[in-house]
């Protein structure tokens, strides 16, 4: 897989209580999302070893007004990938579904990234935002819109209604992807495709 010389990747991941629900493969939505994230991080690690400069931020959301868990690695190394994977492994489903908590760090993350970095983000959720839903989804989109040249991909887990995730998703001509909570393979494919092929 080919990759740009410099990439900044942001993962907004839902840590709401419903992520504990068990999917079709007998594992929770959260565990399947972790599997997908780890596979993506492994692939990014291979690119780093090949000379790509990579900034990565993970943001687990969230309750109002700003409850989230984050980890940032600039110019990531193999050790940084290991630390990110360890952080992913330790996440628990604790929160509500406050969309802006997942996106509020995007502007500062990308502002400090190299000017030539390809900017890619993923917004992964299994629920509609806490009410007022449209207002909160639009607030999350406002964070996305502050970042020039950002491709933000919405991924719904076991949620057919993409209305609110589509407000955050900004890739022209597409809508948010819908994946089964028990299907980590599809999540991996979506993430890899977006990062490595655009």
Which pTM was predicted? 0.96
Residue 65's Cβ-count burial label (10 Å; 0-12, 13-18, 19+) is exposed
Instruction: Give me the half-sphere count of Cα atoms (radius 13 Å) on the Cβ side of residue 105.
Output: 26
pLDDT at 23: 83
Give the chain's residues under pLDDT 50. Answer: 1
pLDDT at 1: 47
Residue 31 CA, chain-centre distance (Å), reads: 15
CA angle 160, 27, 91 (to 5 degrees): 90
pLDDT digit string, tens, across residues 111-158: 999 999 999 999 999 999 999 999 999 999 999 999 999 999 999 999
pLDDT at 182: 86
Q: Which domains can be identified in the chain, with CATH numbers?
A: 6-196 (3.40.50.410)
CB 13 within 8 A of CB 171: no
């Amino acid at each position: 897989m080919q990759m740009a010389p410099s990439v900044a990747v942001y993962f907004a991941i839902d840590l709401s209580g419903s992520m504990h629900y068990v999917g079709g493969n007998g594992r929770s939505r959260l565990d399947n999302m972790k599997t997908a994230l780890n596979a993506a991080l492994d692939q990014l690690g291979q690119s780093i070893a090949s000379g790509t400069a990579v900034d990565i931020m993970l943001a687990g959301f969230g309750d109002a007004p700003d409850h989230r868990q984050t980890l940032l690695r600039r110019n990531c190394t193999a050790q940084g990938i290991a630390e990110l994977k360890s952080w992913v492994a330790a996440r628990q489903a604790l929160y509500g579904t406050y969309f802006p908590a997942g996106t509020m760090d995007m502007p500062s993350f990308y502002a400090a990234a190299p000017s030539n970095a390809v900017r890619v983000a993923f917004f992964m959720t299994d629920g509609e935002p806490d009410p007022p839903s449209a207002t909160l989804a639009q607030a999350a989109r406002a964070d996305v819109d502050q970042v020039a040249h950002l491709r933000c991909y919405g991924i719904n887990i076991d949620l057919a209604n993409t209305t609110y995730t589509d407000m955050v998703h900004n890739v022209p001509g597409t809508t948010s992807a819908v994946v089964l909570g028990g299907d980590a393979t599809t999540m991996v494919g979506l993430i890899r495709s977006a990062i490595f092929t655009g």
